[in-house]
Amino acid sequence: MNTLDQRTALEQAARERIKDSHTLDGDAGRLAHFYRGWASSYELDVGRDGYCGPMIVAELAGAVQTAYLARQRTAIAILDAGCGTGLVGVELERLGFRWIDGFDLSEEMAEQARQTRVYRHVQGNVDLNGPLSDYPSASYDITVCCGVFTLGHVRPDGLRELARVTRPNGFIIASTRKSYAETTSFEDEVRRLQDAGVLVLAQCLKDSRYVAEEDAHYWVFQVPEKANAPTEERP
Ligand SMILES: C[S@@+](CC[C@H](N)C(=O)[O-])C[C@H]1O[C@@H](n2cnc3c(N)ncnc32)[C@H](O)[C@@H]1O
Q: Ligand 1: residues whose CB is within 6 Å?
A: 31, 35, 53-54, 82-84, 87-88, 104-106, 109, 126-129, 146-148, 153-154
Instruction: Give domain status of residue 22, yes or no.
Output: yes
Report pLDDT for 232: 45
Tell me what the pLDDT averaged over the chain comes to.
94
Instruction: Give domain status of residue 124, yes or no.
Output: yes
CA of 150 from ligand 1 middle (Å) equals 9
CA of 229 from ligand 1 middle (Å) equals 26
Domain that holds residue 184: 3-222
Q: Please give the DSSP secondary-structure letter assigned to residue 71.
A: S
Lowest mean pLDDT, pick from 78-92, 126-140, 221-235: 221-235
CA of 231 from ligand 1 middle (Å) equals 26
Q: Please give the DSSP secondary-structure letter assigned to residue 86.
A: S
Instruction: Give domain status of residue 232, yes or no.
Output: no
Predicted confidence (pLDDT) per residue in 22-59, tens digit: 999 899 999 999 999 999 999 999 999 999 999 999 99
Tell which residue, 158, 205, 213, 145, has the closest CA to residue 186.
158
Predicted confidence (pLDDT) per residue in 80-119, tens digit: 999 999 999 999 999 999 999 999 999 999 999 999 999 9
Count the domains in the chain. Answer: 1
Instruction: Give domain status of residue 201, yes or no.
Output: yes
Residue 8 pLDDT greater than 50, yes or no? yes
Instruction: Give domain status of residue 159, yes or no.
Output: yes
56-83 burial code (b ≥16 CB/10 A, e <16):
bbbbbbbebbeeebeeebeebbbbbbbb
Rounded Cα gap, residues 59 and 82, in angstroms: 18
- Closest atom of ligand 1 to 87 CA is 9
Instruction: Give domain status of residue 103, yes or no.
Output: yes
Report the CATH number at residue 180: 3.40.50.150
Instruction: Give domain status of residue 231, yes or no.
Output: no
Instruction: Give domain status of residue 228, yes or no.
Output: no
Tell which residue, 210, 177, 172, has the closest CA to residue 190.
172
Rounded to 5°, the CA angle 86-92-98 comes to 100
Q: Work out the percent of the chain whose per-residue pLDDT is above 70.
A: 96
Rounded Cα gap, residues 220 and 217, in angstroms: 10
Rounded Cα gap, residues 209 and 193, in angstroms: 26
CA of 2 from ligand 1 middle (Å) equals 34
